[in-house]
Amino acid sequence: MNKRTPFIAGNWKMYKTSSEAAETAGQLTSLVADTTDVDIMIAPAFTALDAVSKVIKASRVSLGAQNLYWENEGAYTGEVSASMLVSVGCHYVIIGHSERRQYFGETDASVNHKIRAAIKANLIPVVCVGETEEERDSGRTFSILDKQVKEGLNNYFAKDLESLVIAYEPVWAIGTGKTATRDQAQEAHQYIRSVIEDLFGDTLCQSIRILYGGSVKPENIAELMQMPDIDGALVGGASLSAESFSKIVQFRK
Ligand code: PGA
């Protein structure tokens, strides 16, 4: 039986000014006030973290960032460190999102460094992996996932990764309206869990939460959540409205 607490996370990407983000966050906190059996996170842009943090402080919604840099401080123009994220109330940080890999040169090696910085600062890393359409069509889905997980988590021990969350986000399903079927998602999640078992053993393999991401909506969340290895969702577009995101959070209703 799956004892992992479901986790629904919203990635607001480069949307919403600080005041817009605070407004949506405020609406969300009231809509999900009665939901006690699901962990909830929203990740606004850096510029909105402080404002959103104040709004969600006394609520069940936690704060996440969309990226970080692995040094603690220094001459790294444009970057933000783990301790800076903690200082504005972040508990989570998304690492290695496919848009960062695709447009900003993120690699499995940089993902690896960023995970270390996050863990050291007590931030929960939400590490994204997933294949492109071309990789899937050429039968390389599992080998890509294998490489991303092994290189991203290279040189870690199970005890370092107790809080780690993995998000399986097939690149062809992000923002496209094409959701992986629940069987395709389950197959990938099961594979990722088996890689974790090989690398770190049974305890971490059983406890680690693996989220699905890619065109998750109120209409498809319930069936995805029925699958044994799907523990939650990382939601982009449908997290921008408090109403639709709260419906995803309340997938059991
Ligand atoms: P989407 O994005 O829900 O808009 O497909 C998911 C993500 O990029 O995390």
Domain limits of the chain? 7-249
Q: Is 201 left (phi over 0), alpha (psi -120 to 50) or beta?
A: left
* Choice among 71, 169, 219, 243 that is catalytic: 169
DSSP per residue, 154-185:
TT--GGGGTT-EEEE--GGGSSSS-PPPHHHH
Residue 223 is a catalytic residue: no
Question: Residue 115 and residue 95: Cα distance in Å, rounded?
Answer: 7
Nearest Cα residue to atom 3 of ligand 1 = 236
Alpha-carbon torsion, ordered 21, 24, 30, 34, to 10 deg: -90
Residue 235 Cα to ligand 1 middle (Å)? 5
CA of 10 to the centre of ligand 1 (A): 9
Measured between alpha carbons, how far is 42 from 64 in angstroms, rounded to an integer?
Answer: 6
pTM exceeds 0.75: yes
Res. 107: pLDDT tops 80: yes
Could you give the CA distance from residue 44 to residue 63 in angstroms, rounded to a whole number? Answer: 8
Percent of the chain whose pLDDT exceeds 90: 96
Å from CA of 213 to ligand 1 middle:
6
Which pLDDT value is given to residue 2?
Answer: 58
Residue to substitute in 216, 219, 221, 248 for testing ligand 1 pocket (most ligand atoms within 8 angstroms of CB)? 216
Which one, of 78, 148, 152, lies nearest residue 115 by Cα? Answer: 152
Q: What is the reported pLDDT for 1?
A: 46
What CATH number does domain 7-249 carry, 3.20.20.70, 3.50.30.10, 3.30.1280.10, 1.10.540.10? 3.20.20.70
Locate the ligand 1 atom nearest the alpha carbon of residue 214 and give its number.
5
Distances (CA, A) of 209 to 36, 141, 156, 190, 205: 18, 20, 17, 11, 9
Cα(212) to ligand 1 centroid in Å equals: 10
Query: Is residue 239 scored above 70 in pLDDT?
Result: yes
Q: Which helix (H) or strand (E) holds 151?
A: helix 141-152
The ligand 1 atom at the shortest distance from the C-alpha of residue 174 is 5
Identify the residue whose C-alpha is closest to ligand 1 atom 6. 236
* Å from CA of 110 to ligand 1 middle: 21
Long-range contacts of 105-108 (CB under 8 A, 24+ apart): 108/147, 108/148, 108/151, 108/152
Residue range 171-191: average pLDDT? 93
Residue nearest to atom 2 of ligand 1 (CA): 236
Task: Work out the angle at residue 124's Cα, subtended by the Cα atoms of residues 121 and 127, and round it to the nearest 5 degrees.
Answer: 120
Distance CA 52, CA 21 (A): 7
**Tens of pLDDT, residues 120-162:** 999 999 999 999 999 999 999 999 999 999 999 999 999 999 9
Question: d(Cα 149, Cα 245) in Å, to the nearest integer?
Answer: 28
pLDDT higher than 90, residue 3? no
The residues lining ligand 1, judged by C-beta closer than 6 Å to any ligand atom, are: 11, 169, 174-175, 213-216, 234-238
DSSP codes joined into one string, 26-45: HHHHHHTTT--SSEEEEE--
Cα 249 from Cα 20, distance rounded (Å): 21
Annotation says 97 is catalytic: yes
Q: Indicate which atom in ligand 1 lies nearest the CA of residue 167.
A: 9
Mean pLDDT of 219-247: 97
Q: Let me know: does 6 contact 232? Beta carbons within 8 Å.
A: yes
